[in-house]
Amino acid sequence: MTRVGAGMIEDQNELPRMLAIGGSDSSGGAGVQADIKTGMALGVEVSTAITALTAQNSLGVQKVAPVSTAMLAAQIDSVYTDIPPTVMKLGMLVDAARIRIVGKALRRYTPSTIVCDPVLVSTSGHTLLNDAGRKELIKLLPLITLLTPNAQEAEVLSGRETHTRDGCLDAGRILLDLGVPAVLLKGGHMGGNESSDVLLLQDHSSPIWFSAARIETHNDHGTGCVLASAIAACLARGRTLVEAIGSARDFVQQALIRSAGLRNGNGRGGMILYSTNSAQYE
- Least confident among 64-68, 149-153, 175-179, 191-195: 191-195
How do the domains of the chain map onto residue ranges? 15-271
Q: Which CATH class is domain 15-271?
A: alpha beta
Q: How does pLDDT run across 22-33, given as a tens digit for each residue?
A: 999 999 999 999
Name the pLDDT band for 4 (thresholds 50, 70, 90): very low
* Angstrom distance (rounded) from CA 273 to CA 255: 6
Q: Where are the alpha helices (DSSP H) in 110-194?
A: 131-140, 151-158, 165-177
Q: What's the whole-number average pLDDT of the chain? A: 89
Q: How does pLDDT run across 70-85, given as a tens digit for each residue?
A: 999 999 999 999 999 9
Q: How does pLDDT run across 227-268, given as a tens digit for each residue?
A: 999 999 999 999 999 999 999 999 999 988 888 888 888 888
Residue 190 has pLDDT above 90, yes or no: no
211 vs 96, residue with greater confidence: 96
7 vs 215, residue with greater confidence: 215
Q: Residues with Cβ < 8 Å from 86, sequence gap 6 or more?
A: 4, 5, 7, 9, 16, 17, 18, 44, 113, 235, 236
Amino acid 264: pLDDT: 84
Residue 9 has pLDDT above 80, yes or no: no
Quick one: which of 168, 200, 170 has its CA closest to 182? Answer: 200
Q: How does pLDDT run across 14-69, given as a tens digit for each residue?
A: 889 999 999 999 999 999 999 999 999 999 999 999 999 999 999 989 999 999 99
* Angstrom distance (rounded) from CA 153 to CA 26: 23
Name the pLDDT band for 187 (thresholds 50, 70, 90): confident
Model pTM score: 0.90
Return the beta strands (E) in 161-216 as ranges.
182-186, 194-201, 208-213
Q: Residues with Cβ < 8 Å from 46, sequence gap 6 or more?
A: 17, 18, 19, 20, 35, 36, 38, 39, 40, 229
Kindly state the average pLDDT of the residues 175-179.
Answer: 96
Q: How many CB atoms lie within 10 A of CB 203?
A: 8
Name the pLDDT band for 278 (thresholds 50, 70, 90): low
Residue 196 has pLDDT above 80, yes or no: yes
Kindly state the average pLDDT of the residues 164-181.
Answer: 94
Amino acid 10: pLDDT: 46
